[in-house]
Chain A
Amino acid sequence: MSSTPGGTGAPQDRLKVLSRRAFSFLLDWMAWGYVAYCVMYLLNYYWYTVHVDWWGTLTLPSWGWPVVILSTLELAVWCRSLGRSLGQRAIGVALRPVAGERIRLGRRVLRGFLWHLSVPFAPVWIARGEEPLHDRLTQVGLRTETPDPERPGRRAILTQWGFFSLFLAALTMCVGWLIIGINLQVLIRRAPQAGRIWGEMLRPDFRYFTAPDPVFHLRALSYSILDLTVVTVFMALVATVLGGVMAFPLSFLGARNVMGFSPAGWATYGVIRGFFNVFRSIETIIWASIFAIWVGYGTVLAGILALTIHTIAALGKLYSEQVEGVSPGPLEAVWAAGGSRIQVVRHAVIPQVLPSFWAFTLYRWDINVRMATVIALVGGGGIGDMLFYYKNQGDWSKVGAVVMVIVAVVWAMDYISGRLRERIA
């Protein structure tokens, strides 16, 4: 059994030990925090239905959150002191006495109490590079625990992790049921209304398929369904091409095996990857609402810009993961022949990644067509404008016609891009 005392060793080792400890705490807090929240929620719900209103409530009272946080902290600490917590297991450590084999319960309880007193002084003992005060006072420490290879492991479901996950799953189902349970009845109660709408949608009105609808206007012009379908597909196409063209060069800057040789390279890599991740996590719909305000509500430009931005980030990330996955041999060969970084990219990386780049781009086009049909909801333009116009008019048979055209287009695009991807792969 080797030991990892937090106090000795080089500064970076100490930092590693500390950050591992922080990680294990975080894990415990997440697990117990979830439990505490769910229990609090259930109790509150019960109390509310009995004393206030049979409907129950979904919000915690104002003092609920402090209680949840406090009990999370306490549960985690006691769990870590009295036994071996999930977090401690995750980083493979256990509480051990400095001398001797076992720790008496009394010492564990004492450590739990002392933790509360010693944590305010944490900056002091961290700065001094000592082991935590509560550990020193009770003569214990977190030591790495190597599993005994002789002892066969138990079935996964029978371990502490297994029980805990089952418990969490059950808790989640309980809370989840309370949240949706109230609303489920609506689904049945209002079925007749829905039936009427479905009926009308299934008898679609294709009157304005090619002829412009005289009532529906976009900036004083009227359009037919076909007009706007073409516009929508075109929006997706332009956004995919623009996005792909811009993501292509960026993806190499965001690949470790191309950039990771110098500090400047690493910095570029970090910036580009950060850009991809941030811009990708903002959905197209949100971009569309931003651009709708910026360049005009309901304009095609707003939609194209929104789709393009998201496409750059999403494709850039996929592309650069492909670049990182290339086999390093050809790169090495070009370096060895005296090639520059650009030549390495051009002659060793690109030939390897081009087929998957095409496949991803086609797939993205597919996604963009689907996105383009709905971004009109927030002012992004396209066929969605017509869809939501008819919906607001309550003209469900025309809605049905538009939806059917959308289904046909999306299905066709899916089929075409699927076939093309097959050909490439």
Chain B
Amino acid sequence: MPTPYLVIDGLTKVYERGQVHALRGLSFSVEKGEFLVVIGLSGSGKSTLLRCINRLIEPTEGKIWLDGTDVARLSAKRMRRVRRRIGMIFQQFNLVDRATTVRNVLTGRLGYMPGWRSLLGLFSSQDKQTALANLERVGLRDKAYARVDELSGGQRQRVGIARALMQKPEILLADEPVSALDPATSHSIMQYLEQMNRQDGVTVIASLHFLSLARRYGTRIIALKDGQLVFDGPPKTIDNAKFKEIYGEDAEEVEVR
């Protein structure tokens, strides 16, 4: 029997400062090609979980099997090689505001470049072609040489997507990719993620705040509460009772159209 693509086994994270138990023995697995949505209240550990998968945060305990290797145990150097297969997009976009759009997109390629070339900023012409093609794909070809601080929030997140595309990722981690955006723009961003998932076969793990978005785009939903798994299943099976359990008794569901 083939093992799942990503297996999280007993993942625990304790932040030294303040002794916060952000994740408590979390276990689940993700198949290749899934669109997994992580939901949960603020502070439930969603960001911590995503950042543990590519080790931007060091897990305290537990195993993270990605395609048969335990990434929680890799040396820094081997980890870099794994990271370039893992794309990531961020709530705050994490772009260099002063640099041009295409410069930012090209940084997605750094994991594949030898040290001296990247030090001089000598991206190959092929990389530059790919960068422009990826900008074309997210509809920002005409903004390629504009500075990022001239772009709107939605445009910035599309730059973030183009940057992740540069890695040709097998798996994409999206930490609240649309929290800083309005509903209409949110849908357009989520559609790009959906497209990556369907067309390129990229496994997507996205944390979202709105259940309606999670239902609409996820093929599966997991819910965290105080760093523990309180729900794991297809979107349809989240009913009102489940919702109250995840978000607390007083919560009301808000629709994003």
- A interface residue numbers (CB < 8 A to B): 329-330, 332-340, 342-343, 346-348, 351-352, 354-355
Contacts and interface: CB of A to CB of B under 8 A. Distances in A.
Given A333-B160, A337-B107, 18 more contacts: A329-B93, A330-B96, A333-B94, A333-B95, A335-B56, A336-B56, A336-B86, A337-B83, A337-B111, A337-B166, A337-B167, A338-B83, A339-B80, A343-B115, A346-B119, A346-B121, A347-B107, A351-B99
B88 A334 contact: no
A352 to B, nearest CB: 6
Nearest to A339: B110
Interface string B98-121: 110001000111111101001101
A329 B115 contact: no
B67 to A, nearest CB: 15
Given A337-B84, A340-B115, A346-B119, A332 B107 contact: no
Q: Which of B54, B92, B94, B167 has the most CB of A within 10 A?
A: B94
Interface residues of B, number: 36
A339 B173 CA distance: 17
A337 B81 CA distance: 9
Contacts of B83: 335-338
Contacts of A339: 80, 107, 110-111, 118
Nearest to A261: B76
Contacts of A336: 54, 56, 83, 86, 88, 173
Q: Which of A336, A339, A346, A352 has the most CB of B within 10 A?
A: A336
Q: Is the interface of A mostly helix, strand, loop or mixed?
A: helix
Contact of B163 (A329, A333, A342, A355): A333
B96 A346 contact: no
Contacts of B82: 338
16 contacts: A329-B90, A332-B56, A334-B110, A335-B56, A335-B83, A336-B83, A337-B107, A338-B82, A338-B84, A339-B107, A339-B111, A339-B118, A343-B119, A351-B99, A352-B97, A354-B98
Contact of B95 (A330, A337, A338): A330
Nearest to A338: B111
B94 to A, nearest CB: 3
B64 to A, nearest CB: 15
Nearest to A355: B98
